[in-house]
Amino acid sequence: MYTLLDRFEEARHAGCPLGIRTTVNHAIRGEPMDHTEIYDSADRKETDKINTLNEHLSDAEFLLKKNWTIQTIEFKLNMIDLELSNTYNRTVMQKVEHRIKKADSISRKLIKKGHAPTFENAVRTLNDIVGIRVVCLYSDDVYKIAELLKQQKDFTLVNEKDYIKHPKKSGYQSLHLIMDVPLVFYDTTEYQRVEIQIRTVAMDFWAGVDNQICYKKSPEDIKKAEKDLKMYSSVISNIDRQMLNLRKKVENSFQAPSNL
């Protein structure tokens, strides 16, 4: 399919009106788009699509369903946290966050994937319009939380991406569950696709720094930091391993029969 990105490449060689170039540059760099800038360009059709996407994403019913989905998952997570905390006698989840993906981020992602920035394409192809993030102290807790989420009878696991066992090229580590969550109405059930990211505090720290200085930035910007960040990703893995070993050592010492 011929996309905005293709046109950008074509325009770069031919020297095109500034509007298209700046719009796509924004998309690549991950900056918010200034829509007045787009209007100056020749590409009104693409702008109309982004505006329609914006309208759909601010629709009251759309937002209500997304918020209902978030509440449903957070309720489950609270139950899981309670169960794990009671079983292990310690706090398990440190933080649960959620977000509904913004229009500019959706259009950027669609363009990057080679799709037109339409609402239909967003709903059809993106798994993370609703995103939930669970942060815990130890790497084994990540898998305990994931296991209990997968056991929920009303949730369907669509895909699991283990970036802890197989970190991304950037060094990014996290466990992602893509799930379908049901919203039950009078006579129908509607499934909402969500991405649940589960990771340790250390992995979350790394991802936060990466987000600020590397992820979604231009190759020029990231050149200086990319190598170091990748190395720090293994440092983080080591720290996670050591913290887990420390916890196990302390737990074992409590369980060991006293010599006295």
Residues near ligand 0O2 (CB under 6 A): 101, 105, 109, 127-128, 131, 161, 168, 170, 172, 176, 207, 210-211, 215
Nearer CB in complex with ligand 0O2: 49/176: 176
Characterize the bridge pairing of strands 93-100 and 175-184: unpaired
As measured in angstroms, the least distance from the Cβ of 176 to ligand 0O2 is 5
For residues 20 and 151, what is the distance between their CA atoms, to the nearest angstrom?
48
As measured in angstroms, the least distance from the Cβ of 109 to ligand 0O2 is 5
Nearer CB in complex with ligand 0O2: 144/176: 176
Nearer CB in complex with ligand 0O2: 158/243: 158
As measured in angstroms, the least distance from the Cβ of 18 to ligand 0O2 is 27
CA dihedral 208, 97, 134, 108 (to 10 degrees): -60
Nearer CB in complex with ligand 0O2: 43/66: 66
As measured in angstroms, the least distance from the Cβ of 255 to ligand 0O2 is 38
Closest C-alpha to 170, from 206, 126, 127? 206
Nearer CB in complex with ligand 0O2: 7/109: 109
As measured in angstroms, the least distance from the Cβ of 113 to ligand 0O2 is 7
Closest C-alpha to 164, from 173, 177, 154, 152? 173
Spell 107-140 as b/e; 16+ CB within 10 A means b: bbbbbeeebbbbbebbeeebbbbbbbbbbbbbbe
